[in-house]
């Protein structure tokens, strides 16, 4: 029995996982494959050929003049820079957001931007450029520019457009990118006022009292409207594959709050793509493969954003009403993960190319991060029985925890286990056990298993079945001897009715002794990091003083604090997507002045 495995200890690699074809337990990332090539591209490569190198050195001159100017000429130089009167130097975040510091220059690890809010390493891992961009191949004018064609960005663009604004969407990739499948909304018509307030209280308490209550209130009060609107937009786009799933009536002493789950196809990718096509038909202009790399500031306000084309040239997108940052999270920016959510560092990532570009651009322009460490969503892939506390073994075939840990929190225990992976073992009696524990295997989510689903999972290789524990261990790639010993010990504890090793509740102690035996391998990886720029309920980014920055909005995982618990709570399934759609919709309306 081992509880904590030292991180560098040699582990036995299971055969099951070493076969790439069989790694079907991971929820698929819906991002197109070509995006990976943008990861950690050196700055010079991102800039393109010789012409861009020249431009870079011009920009460097501009920046070094800024720094030297501040040192040598103090306030006079600062004033000259602020008015743009030094030839060729546009107003930049150096003046607007703080100062560039550091002994090694902008590319040094110790260099920081925006008064320390952004490091050079964080910038280098992103699409964002710190040095002021002054040469543009084109300048375009819109009322609103939305950065990111994802779960929150599309509703923001459509809502702003519907409110009469001319809208551009800058998208980093060649197509819209979104993930997830289930979205939750509060159905006011089926809830009482007291029940909705109690639910608001519950969400706040569940998140360690850390969310801004106005953000939660906006979700509770407006998510029905936002998701009904979203559905109507989807219907107009010819997409109606949406069914109710995982709804929950939260019942309190004084009332109830009905939270409805909506399942959009098998991924948010399909509705997001349909919505983007519809938006383009309606007149929203999309600029694909054009990551936003820098905000355009003027006198403390945000007046536009710079997009970098695929061949490394820059376009200036002016936004008379404002820019909405909806770039998702920063799970693929290691330096940001290390700074803000270090306990997620060692886990794999389910998304690619989410480098916190919106967060960084906002910080450079005077916005601030939500306080404290953000919530993280680290889950163990698809399959069956993810919540059910069946026997779990690590890759060494050893039991390592009381299995009645909520699924969403399990990553904390797996953090110190080999490769953050585990195998759940159960036997032919699974259905009786699951029913006996109060779970309902007929609930139509990927988390549960009817006998038909179990058979299908065995068929597609997600779940492994065998007639003996030895054979099962071999098939899944666990050390046979250790696995057999662990199962034997577990069955002894079940016979005693007491988990003397880890203290799991005795009602969950059921022996694994009746063939066929099943093994469900799980690899835990980061689905999302749920923390962003500090915003108010309209999605306006706030500065250090808590005041809105004119022209700057953020939505989705680029904004917060909506959560606060160390791990994303699954008490409301689909909260993240439901919240992203709602806050995108609200920010889009607000920026357009609706
Ligand atoms: C596998 C998986 C399953 C999940 N399942 C669920 C679920 O069922 N229910 C749930 O509630 N949550 C789920 N989640 C979490 C949920 O999907 C996310 O929290 C949510 O979709 C985030 O939305 P967003 O708008 O913030 O970001 P995204 O939807 O990721 O959108 C961000 C967009 O910005 C673009 N972008 C990034 N940088 C730039 C730039 N510099 N310029 C231009 N564009 C840029 C990206 O390409 C992307 O299209 C899941 C997550 C994963 C990975």
- pLDDT beyond 60 at 73: no
Q: Beta strands 112-113 and 118-119: pairing type?
A: antiparallel
Q: 2 or 238: which carries more pLDDT confidence?
A: 238
- Could you identify the residue written with the tokens 């050195």? 57
Phi, psi of 200 (to 5 degrees): -55, -45
Q: Determine the Cα–Cα distance for residues 563 and 206; give it in Å rounded to an integer.
A: 9
Residue among 328, 349, 447 to mutate when testing ligand 1 (max atoms within 8 A of CB): 328
Q: 21 or 16: which carries more pLDDT confidence?
A: 16
Count CA within 13 A, CB hemisphere, residue 528: 23
Question: What pLDDT digit, counting tens, does each position of 418-451 carry?
Answer: 998 999 999 999 988 887 887 765 555 555 678 8
| SS3 labels along 517-547 | EEEEEEECEEEEEECCEEECCCCEEECCCCC
Q: What's the CA-to-centroid distance between 178 and ligand 1, angstroms?
A: 5
Closest atom, ligand 1, to C-alpha of 355: 38
Give the confidence band of 229 by pLDDT, cuts at 50, 70, 90: very high
For ligand 1, is residue 181 a contact (CB within 6 Å)? yes
The two tokens of residue 278 are 């519809």
Q: What's the CA-to-centroid distance between 328 and ligand 1, angstroms?
A: 5
For position 545, what pLDDT does the model report?
A: 97
**Number of continuous H segments (helices) and E segments (strands) in the chain:** 17, 23
Q: What's the CA-to-centroid distance between 556 and ligand 1, angstroms?
A: 8
For position 396, what pLDDT does the model report?
A: 98
Residue nearest to atom 5 of ligand 1 (CA): 180
Closest atom, ligand 1, to C-alpha of 291: 42
For position 448, what pLDDT does the model report?
A: 65
Q: Beta strands 540-542 and 548-554: pairing type?
A: antiparallel
DSSP letter, residue 153: H
Phi, psi of 540 (to 5 degrees): -70, 130
Q: Which residues contact 454 (CB under 8 A, 6 or more apart)?
A: 384, 430, 463, 518
Q: What is the largest CA-CA distance in the chain?
A: 82
For ligand 1, is residue 536 a contact (CB within 6 Å)? no
Q: 71 or 466: which carries more pLDDT confidence?
A: 466
Q: What's the CA-to-centroid distance between 375 and ligand 1, angstroms?
A: 15
Question: What pLDDT digit, counting tens, does each position of 327-359 carry?
Answer: 999 999 999 999 999 999 999 999 999 999 999
* Nearest Cα residue to 558 out of 324, 298, 292: 324
- pLDDT beyond 90 at 376: yes
> Omega before 295 cis (within 30°)?
no
Residue nearest to atom 52 of ligand 1 (CA): 527
Look at residue 184 and give its three-state secondary structure: strand
Residue nearest to atom 4 of ligand 1 (CA): 180
For ligand 1, is residue 350 a contact (CB within 6 Å)? yes
Q: What's the CA-to-centroid distance between 273 and ligand 1, angstroms?
A: 13
Give the confidence band of 56 by pLDDT, cuts at 50, 70, 90: very low
User: Which has the minimum average pLDDT: 32-46, 463-477, 487-501, 574-588?
Assistant: 32-46
Q: Determine the Cα–Cα distance for residues 226 and 55; give it in Å rounded to an integer.
A: 44
Tell me the average pLDDT of the chain: 83
For position 114, what pLDDT does the model report?
A: 82
Q: 37 or 165: which carries more pLDDT confidence?
A: 165
Residue 431 φ/ψ region, left for φ over 0, alpha for ψ in the -120 to 50 degree band, beta for the rest: alpha
For ligand 1, is residue 575 a contact (CB within 6 Å)? yes
User: Which has the minimum average pLDDT: 59-73, 188-202, 240-254, 381-395?
Assistant: 59-73
* Nearest Cα residue to 117 out of 153, 138, 93: 93
Is the CB of residue 69 less than 8 Å from the CB of residue 86?
Answer: yes
- Identical fold between 15-27+382-523 and 138-377+527-592: no
Architecture of domain 138-377+527-592: 3-Layer(bba) Sandwich (3.50)
- pLDDT beyond 70 at 572: yes
Closest atom, ligand 1, to C-alpha of 28: 1
For ligand 1, is residue 577 a contact (CB within 6 Å)? yes
The two tokens of residue 497 are 């009715």
Closest atom, ligand 1, to C-alpha of 328: 27
Is the complex ipTM higher than 0.85? yes
Closest atom, ligand 1, to C-alpha of 127: 41
The length of the chain is 594
Closest atom, ligand 1, to C-alpha of 527: 53
Phi, psi of 244 (to 5 degrees): -80, 140
For position 240, what pLDDT does the model report?
A: 77
Give the confidence band of 245 by pLDDT, cuts at 50, 70, 90: confident
Angle at 538 between CA 579 and CA 573, to 5 degrees: 10
CATH topology of domain 15-27+382-523: Flavocytochrome C3; Chain A, domain 1 (3.90.700)
Residue nearest to atom 38 of ligand 1 (CA): 327
Is the CB of residue 164 less than 8 Å from the CB of residue 592?
Answer: yes
Could you state, in order of their start, the residue ranges of all structural domains in the chain?
15-27+382-523, 138-377+527-592
Residue 46 buriedness (CB in 10 A; 0-12 / 13-18 / 19+): middle
For ligand 1, is residue 171 a contact (CB within 6 Å)? yes
Look at residue 25 and give its three-state secondary structure: coil
For position 432, what pLDDT does the model report?
A: 86
Question: What pLDDT digit, counting tens, does each position of 186-218 carry?
Answer: 999 999 999 999 999 999 999 999 999 999 999
Q: 373 or 25: which carries more pLDDT confidence?
A: 373
For ligand 1, is residue 351 a contact (CB within 6 Å)? yes
User: Which has the minimum average pLDDT: 35-49, 326-340, 555-569?
Assistant: 35-49
Q: Determine the Cα–Cα distance for residues 126 and 353; give it in Å rounded to an integer.
A: 8
- Rounded mean pLDDT, 105-111: 42
Phi, psi of 557 (to 5 degrees): -70, 0
């Amino acid at each position: 029995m081992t509880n904590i495995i030292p991180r560098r200890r040699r582990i036995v690699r299971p055969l099951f996982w070493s076969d790439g074809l069989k790694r079907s337990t991971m929820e698929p990332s819906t991002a197109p494959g070509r995006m990976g090539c943008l990861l950690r591209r050196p700055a010079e490569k991102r800039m393109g050929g010789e012409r861009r190198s020249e431009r870079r050195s011009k920009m460097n001159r501009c920046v070094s003049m800024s720094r030297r100017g501040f040192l040598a000429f103090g306030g006079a130089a600062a004033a000259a820079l602020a008015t743009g009167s030094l030839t060729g130097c546009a107003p930049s975040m150096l003046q607007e957001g703080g100062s560039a510091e550091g002994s090694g220059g902008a590319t040094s690890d110790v260099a920081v931007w925006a008064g320390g809010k952004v490091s050079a390493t964080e910038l280098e891992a992103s699409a964002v450029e710190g040095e002021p961009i002054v040469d543009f191949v084109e300048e375009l004018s819109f009322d609103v520019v939305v950065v990111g064609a994802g779960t929150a960005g599309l509703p923001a663009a459509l809502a702003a457009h519907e409110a009469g604004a001319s809208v551009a969407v800058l998208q980093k990739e060649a197509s819209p990118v979104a993930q997830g499948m289930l979205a939750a909304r509060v159905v006011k018509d089926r809830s009482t006022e007291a029940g909705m307030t109690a639910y608001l209280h519950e969400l706040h308490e569940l998140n360690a009292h850390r969310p801004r209550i106005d953000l939660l209130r906006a979700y509770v009060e407006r998510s029905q409207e936002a998701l009904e609107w979203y559905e109507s937009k989807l219907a107009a786009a010819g997409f109606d594959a949406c069914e109710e799933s995982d709804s929950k009536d939260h019942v309190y002493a004084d009332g109830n709050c009905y939270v409805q789950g909506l399942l959009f196809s098998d991924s948010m990718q399909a509705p997001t793509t349909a919505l983007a096509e519809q938006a383009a038909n309606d007149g929203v202009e999309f600029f694909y493969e054009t990551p936003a790399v820098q905000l355009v500031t003027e006198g403390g306000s945000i007046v536009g954003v710079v997009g970098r084309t695929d061949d490394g040239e820059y376009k200036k997108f002016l936004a008379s009403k404002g820019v909405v940052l909806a770039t998702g999270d920063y799970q693929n920016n290691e330096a940001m993960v290390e700074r803000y959510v270090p306990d997620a560092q060692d886990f794999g990532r389910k998304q690619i190319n989410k480098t916190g570009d919106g967060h960084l651009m906002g910080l450079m322009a005077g916005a601030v991060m939500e306080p404290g460490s953000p919530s993280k969503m680290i889950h163990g892939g698809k399959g069956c029985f993810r919540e059910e506390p069946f026997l779990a073994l690590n890759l060494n075939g050893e039991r390592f925890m009381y299995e009645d840990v909520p699924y969403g929190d399990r990553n904390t225990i797996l953090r110190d286990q080999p490769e953050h992976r585990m195998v759940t073992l159960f036997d032919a009696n699974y259905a009786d056990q699951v029913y006996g524990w109060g779970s309902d295997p007929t609930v139509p989510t990927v988390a549960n298993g009817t006998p038909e689903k179990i058979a299908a999972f065995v068929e597609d290789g997600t779940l492994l079945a065998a007639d003996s524990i030895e054979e099962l261990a071999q098939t899944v790639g666990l050390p046979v001897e250790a696995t057999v010993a662990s199962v034997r010990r577990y069955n002894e504890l079940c016979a005693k009715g007491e988990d003397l090793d880890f203290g799991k509740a005795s009602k969950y102690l059921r022996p694994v002794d009746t063939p066929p035996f099943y093994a469900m391998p799980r690899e835990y990886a980061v689905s999302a990091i749920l923390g962003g720029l500090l915003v108010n309920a309209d999605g306006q980014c706030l500065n250090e003083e808590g005041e809105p920055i004119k022209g700057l909005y953020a939505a989705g995982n680029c904004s917060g604090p909506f959560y606060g618990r160390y791990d994303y709570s699954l008490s409301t399934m689909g909260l993240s997507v439901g919240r992203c759609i709602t806050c995108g919709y609200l920010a889009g309306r607000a920026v357009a002045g609706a």
